Structure 1
């Protein structure tokens, strides 16, 4: 059922425009599928630069023609516009000849190299120690999980290469967003809680460590010629970079 849930249904869920039975079905689907929860978070993101993007379009738009188009659009009688009305209006403008893809083209170009890190952070912020502490940690299970990652991303990972001081390797899995595979290798640190090493394919070239902070978590990220990597957790940036250095050295070997 999860794959059949459309973005429109999820937006209606966010806008509280579903009846009790429909909300109950989506609640059950969210409990079963973490990636569905990630889609929901993505639709509910409020940090995207809508205003600056629209300002740029306003500067470039043929104002008189657009105003004439808007004058022919029916105005809703409700005092507040829902997101579904906004999406429908946007679709109407697109059908009328407005190139909506230009709205976010520049923003998407500048963001695409680190957007996947935002998705991972959105997901990792939901983790608590109880999410991981019951998972099996035997080597046979780890090897089987890593083989799945290797097959999708062209890697050759082994538990020994991924070992970290203090933090215990708990699970390796493949996630996917918008057709892009992201491997997530999760650890449980006895002091700082869940952390993860994540990797996706990238052709942006090799780069050294950089740091950022999202949702109260620290991130150290880097890339090689074929993959982009990140280590995320509530550990200090210094500790994360030290661990990232160990991981990068072993993975290259």
Structure 2
């Protein structure tokens, strides 16, 4: 605070934000249907009397406390985002996790397109996400290409290339044309799924599957060098 003028200004802005929040809460308290709420309390369970009047100083303190909490939460989120403490675990990866959890070993294993059909699917997908995709550039060791399909997330193209391992277990390569800034490969586990993701050339990429995390990272490194 003493040495960082930008941080001090942001702190002052967050403090100033508390006043309108508290005023809004006061207005909500004034509009609260107190009689209807009191009438809804069962007669055999009398209401506990709060200290002071219900709409008076006690609730004013509560509103102020909530406002302070909201400001503190906003400050914590801003600090975390500013210094990268939250990473970029954004919603598109969570959406991919949700539908990947629905896939089984039987989902993609029956699909086995030849090289010409692979090329057609990859050319169409690459045109949408702005990447040069061929059967050679997306080939991954120990995995068999099954299909390339086009989805969307919040109106932006989301390409999905599905592979299977020898047991039929699916592994996905997702390419999201979201104009992301370049970022190195990072990884994590979500339940039994491993994720490895990075951003390059305005696209976000994700490798996901029920594989060891180090395997996901190795596959991501292979793809990163090619597309």
In structure 2, what is the equivalent of residue 194 of structure 1?
170
Q: CA deviation at 1:177?
A: 2.6
How does the TM-score come out when normalised to structure 2?
Answer: 0.65
**Count of residue pairs the alignment pairs up:** 171
Q: Which has the higher helix share?
A: 1
Q: CA deviation at 1:73?
A: 11
**Cα distance change, pair 145–69 in 1 and its aligned pair in 2 (3 A):** farther
State whether residues 137 and 171 of structure 1, in contact with CA within 8 Å, keep that contact through their aligned partners in structure 2: yes
Which consecutive residues of structure 2, in runs of 5 or more, have no partner in the other structure? 1-16, 41-69
Q: CA deviation at 1:213?
A: 1.7
Q: CA deviation at 1:120?
A: 0.5
Within 2, Cα distance between the matches of 1:239 and 1:142?
Answer: 24
SS of 2:32's partner is helix
SS of 1:161's partner is coil
Does 2:39 correspond to 1:67? no
Higher CA-based Rg: 2
Q: CA deviation at 1:134?
A: 1.4
Q: CA deviation at 1:111?
A: 8.0
State whether residues 111 and 147 of structure 2, in contact with CA within 8 Å, keep that contact through their aligned partners in structure 1: yes
C-alpha RMSD of matched pairs (Å):
3.4
Within 1, Cα distance between the matches of 2:198 and 2:35?
Answer: 48
In structure 1, what is the equivalent of residue 187 of structure 2?
211
Does 2:135 correspond to 1:159? yes
State whether residues 202 and 226 of structure 1, in contact with CA within 8 Å, keep that contact through their aligned partners in structure 2: yes
Within 2, Cα distance between the matches of 1:178 and 1:202?
Answer: 10
**Cα distance change, pair 216–203 in 1 and its aligned pair in 2 (3 A):** same
Within 2, Cα distance between the matches of 1:145 and 1:216?
Answer: 29
In structure 1, what is the equivalent of residue 220 of structure 2?
244
Q: CA deviation at 1:130?
A: 0.6
Which consecutive residues of structure 1, in runs of 5 or more, have no partner in the other structure? 1-55, 78-101
**Cα distance change, pair 211–112 in 1 and its aligned pair in 2 (3 A):** closer
Within 1, Cα distance between the matches of 2:168 and 2:218?
Answer: 15
Within 2, Cα distance between the matches of 1:192 and 1:142?
Answer: 18
**Cα distance change, pair 192–207 in 1 and its aligned pair in 2 (3 A):** farther
In structure 2, what is the equivalent of residue 33 of structure 1?
none
State whether residues 202 and 225 of structure 1, in contact with CA within 8 Å, keep that contact through their aligned partners in structure 2: no
Q: CA deviation at 1:74?
A: 7.2
Q: CA deviation at 1:173?
A: 0.7
Q: CA deviation at 1:215?
A: 3.8
